[in-house]
Structure 1
């Protein structure tokens, strides 16, 4: 038996339990589809509205933020049309939050499967991405319709900005989700840490306020401002502003310095996010060896 094992491995077979990370996800599309269906079915079981919550939750979020920031702080006057500006950022933050939050808990929530059978563990956080996309598409449609009402007409640069911003969020959130999800199996405090990160994420990116105000407060050349603008989530939000809000703003706002270089910084942010995804995959693959014992 032992003599046959080296020959089998030489023929291209791999030892059980040894995976190739995220590459294995691409080879298990059917299992991934089943996990997505299970997640959606469990989430909306005995729910009257079902997937309609994809519209209700961001809608309530938008109304509250618009009422507070748009009316009390009068941002609706200084950032026209503020509704498009605000909802562009909300769509990005919601996508990021859902992927990272669900990916962090994915292995724990599928502990029964981990203990019973072997399958690529990366399927669990990867399924979180697809579930989040199911909720993201309706919000994106609402954003496109709303922007179209006020005169938005997409061109090649607008489409490129939206795709680039989406790619940054997907790779960044999945990379972090792989890292936090793997560590969370051994240390459940990670869930609370991620919840704190998601709670403040909306305030540490230009969703509710213009980027120019941050420059005024901290200084355009300050270290804090450099770190703030280097945040891939900040760049992703501004790419969505570039795609949906900028084409319908006043000419004065169209000359913003951020508009001139946001696409370049977006490419750099995507590169960083891809590197983080590779690192996250390596960390997850290494720690996944002990998942069955720790669950």
Structure 2
């Protein structure tokens, strides 16, 4: 009887994100733990997923829609505003929490070995759970004003969400790993989170950025968040407009044929970079923590 061959492996090594499939049960436990810990001792609990975006929407709508009168130039400005906010909130929550995910779980990481990617990926899934109630509110508001999307628009919205999830995961892996060695990485992420709402057409029309940037507009358009927000506007806001209003609105050219594939490639590139840096640094997480 031939002796079994034992393969020696380097302790702490793994296949990166590919290990998630074989550790799906652990991932579910981490997601459940994150949700319980986040709302422990909270009166409203998961209802904060509704309250916080609604409060954010009201502040922007009053300040920009009413005080600056942007609602006059943008029909159904409330739908336009909220459809961008829900997507940006998903990105900011994912990136902020995944940046802290390794440091916040230092006790668990120092005691046992498990794929380190589980922690930032768990924050993506938790943020997605918070994203769903916000989409429910968006759908309800859109239906009240006559929302009638096409199948292509719905598929495009799903694709836009996937692009943002990939981008947030890539940046989360990158900054989550670097934050173990340089804790001021959180300050860099905080600055990114402050800029992201204004760096995409969430509060204003994309044509304003085009007119202001001129020949440099392609850099603005190459931002995956810009493309994703524009697609969400096209899927949730544009179908609420009547014939006269749609004639007043200018849609971004080549949104699905050019810029969606470009944004997907950029997001995948960020994910590849984030995974590469994460794997290089993850070997010494336990010692550094």
Alpha-carbon separation, structure 2, partners of 1:251 and 1:133? 31
Q: Does 1:106 align with 2:101?
A: yes
1:14 CA drift (Å): 4.1
Please, which of 47, 50, 54 is the counterpart of residue 49 of structure 2?
54
Alpha-carbon separation, structure 2, partners of 1:189 and 1:276? 21
CA contact (8 A) 1:179 1:283 kept: yes
Question: What is aligned with 1:231?
Answer: 223
1:89-168 equivalent positions in 2, closer than 5 A: 89-168=84-163
CA contact (8 A) 1:228 1:234 kept: yes
Question: Which TM-score applies when normalising by structure 2?
Answer: 0.95
Question: What is aligned with 1:290?
Answer: 284
Alpha-carbon separation, structure 2, partners of 1:70 and 1:76? 5
1:241-252 equivalent positions in 2, closer than 5 A: 241-249=233-241, 250-252=245-247
Alpha-carbon separation, structure 2, partners of 1:263 and 1:186? 40
The SS at the match of 1:8 is coil
Alpha-carbon separation, structure 2, partners of 1:212 and 1:43? 39
Cα deviation, 1:185-221, whole Å, max 9, x if unaligned, reads 00000001101110111111110111111222222xx
CA contact (8 A) 2:86 2:135 kept: yes
The SS at the match of 1:169 is helix
Q: Higher mean Cα deviation, 269-278 or 200-209?
A: 269-278
For this pair of structures, how many residues does the alignment match?
Answer: 283
Task: Pick closer, same or farther for the CA change 1:242–1:257 going to 2, 3 Å.
Answer: closer
Alpha-carbon separation, structure 1, partners of 2:182 and 2:12? 23
Alpha-carbon separation, structure 1, partners of 2:11 and 2:212? 56
1:57-96 equivalent positions in 2, closer than 5 A: 57-96=52-91
CA contact (8 A) 2:238 2:246 kept: no
Alpha-carbon separation, structure 1, partners of 2:47 and 2:60? 20
Question: What is aligned with 2:37?
Answer: 42
Question: What is aligned with 1:181?
Answer: 176
Cα deviation, 1:74-128, whole Å, max 9, x if unaligned, reads 1111111001100011011100001111110000000011100000000000000
Please, which of 256, 261, 268 is the counterpart of residue 263 of structure 1?
256
CA contact (8 A) 1:239 1:262 kept: yes
Question: Which TM-score applies when normalising by structure 1?
Answer: 0.93
Runs of 4+ residues deviating >3 angstroms: 13-16
